[in-house]
Structure 1
């Protein structure tokens, strides 16, 4: 039998998967003797911590006392676990679960990603990794407080603008510019309020309309629109890398949980059959 045929054998694949899971557990399982081992690395780490805390180098007596305290803490922690003091404390349980989850997450390969993997993620969720649609506009303000009826004053502005008047020569002074280059609608919501931005959604380009804002009534013309577009890889890379790293960590935790479900199954014998079938952990 050739090696290619051999690797396709189900038994061989099962053994390979088992070895991989064993390696994972070996990597995340703490060394039971590490807490009570005092070696040169631990001494130097303790010395560095004391130096930072004391703002000077510790003497041998201070170093020995710190090491003794750490060993005593380890003994107390082990004895508490032996007595089962961790079992009925929800805070301790949550902390243990969190530490194990972090240990499994640390096994994920998130140091670097090939461009192809990042592009595959971007293209699979284009809405998430696209620059939003943008629009440019001109607005001329009929300010609230300067006119008995700002909407009527804005209507007169529209009449003059449609007749060819210069927007820069009309309207009341306000806190914002009259002309804006291409911007997402969210920018206009921040400047003029959400109702103003919402009115821009279906406004045809090149025509004057009246739009209300907390500042008053505006004569508004959409000058140009640019559709949403996929971000180039260079611009999207930081977010793509962060999202892909998060996914790989989640996958590492899920793989570990799948193995734990197999090795430590729940007892579902007393459940109704339908609920037991839905909860069957080997199907999760």
Structure 2
């Protein structure tokens, strides 16, 4: 089965299915990548042909979870605590002071980590807030962390990380925000309670409203221009006026939207909703 070649028709069937389900665009240059992932899913689900597997995953009565697993297998869940640290420096030095002034009356802050993977980004946001708000317990803070992968969400909710994964966390943060458990680091309850993990399909599910900041980094690279435009429009509707959008270092809104102001700083870059 490992030598099965994906035909043109099969490639079109699966690439269209994946696009319709998730918005992930798989061009012909990624055919071998798709074929490799499909072969692993065929083996895991005990199917011996691409066609039978396709019939299975498109049968809503029995193949729904397998379709989620297929989409999951196509994404790279690479992340780390405080990834692209200059952006987090910008967040605490520029964005957070503005939010503190803006929300001084109701002390309410809302964040979205879209494509949160195993939770490091969301927990990094939480630790940054706890460290840089004078009286964090006085604030109503909610960080929604979402992903299309049920597997990584389950791991994120546990909040347990290896010593290697914790290497990018400042030693003082490790003392304050983690417990050492059997050679690994466990996120402490007062950090975990700020984060809500949930399944979210960026193509089909509705966005949130009234958000102060959205982190969606290294996610748009999976989408074509049409899906990127739809996603950015969803983010625009989700953000409060003046809200902020952080993208990956290789991602840009150029040619996608004129509803955001680009803010460049020596410590990083961020987009701000203008209206």
Higher Rg: 1
**TM-score, normalisation: structure 2:** 0.25
TM-score with structure 1 setting the length:
0.25
Higher strand share: 2
**Which structure has greater helix proportion?**
1
